[in-house]
Amino acid sequence: MKIRRKHQPFIVIIMVVVLFIFVLFFISSMKSKKPEDVVNTFYRYEQKGDFGSSWDLFHSKMKERFSKNSYVTERSHIYMSHFGVTTFSYKVHEAKKLSSWKMMKEGPTFTNVYVVPVEIDFHSKFGTFTIWQNVYVVKEKQKWTILWEFQ
């Protein structure tokens, strides 16, 4: 049986392209995202009113503190009803690595944690006001997760 040689270069090109795509995918999945990335994602969800997706980015200790249902309900109620917020903008500042940190005095100590200052400008019926919040980021099960301070 004779193999047609005119199709071999085409097959080789396809195999090289597939291998190249696989290598790119593998390298991009190996890269660890920065702590600021998860904070940006969190506030993008919050801007859209997708509080369920932002809750999903919490560390398990935060999820113990707020059930998903109560977080979604209370967060939207506070923003829209109490503050009269129609929109908000935010700026995520550079993360700073901490050797250790506690969420609360009687809570566990986290190591290899990052503090990410966030500046949030709320645009409401009462005018524009700014809140600064330190967001803490730590890896849990190989994923960056979010914590807040409750001292």
Does residue 15 sit within a domain?
A: no
pLDDT at 31: 45
Does residue 81 sit within a domain?
A: yes
Does residue 11 sit within a domain?
A: no
CATH number at residue 69: 3.10.450.100
Q: Which domain holds residue 139?
A: 33-147
What is the pTM assigned to this prediction? Answer: 0.76
Interacting residues of 94 by C-beta distance below 8 A, sequence separation 6+: 36, 116
d(CA 120, CA 18): 44
Model confidence at 24: pLDDT above 50: yes
Does residue 2 sit within a domain?
A: no
d(CA 98, CA 84): 35
Find the Cα–Cα–Cα–Cα dihedral 120, 123, 125, 126, rounded to 10°.
Answer: 50
Q: Considering its fold, how many domains does the chain have in total? A: 1
pLDDT at 87: 84
**What is the tens place of the pLDDT at every residue in 90-115?**
999 999 999 999 999 988 999 999 99
**What is the tens place of the pLDDT at every residue in 126-144?**
889 999 999 999 999 999 9
Does residue 66 sit within a domain?
A: yes
Does residue 102 sit within a domain?
A: yes
Does residue 19 sit within a domain?
A: no
22/91: higher pLDDT: 91
Does residue 5 sit within a domain?
A: no
Model confidence at 44: pLDDT above 90: yes
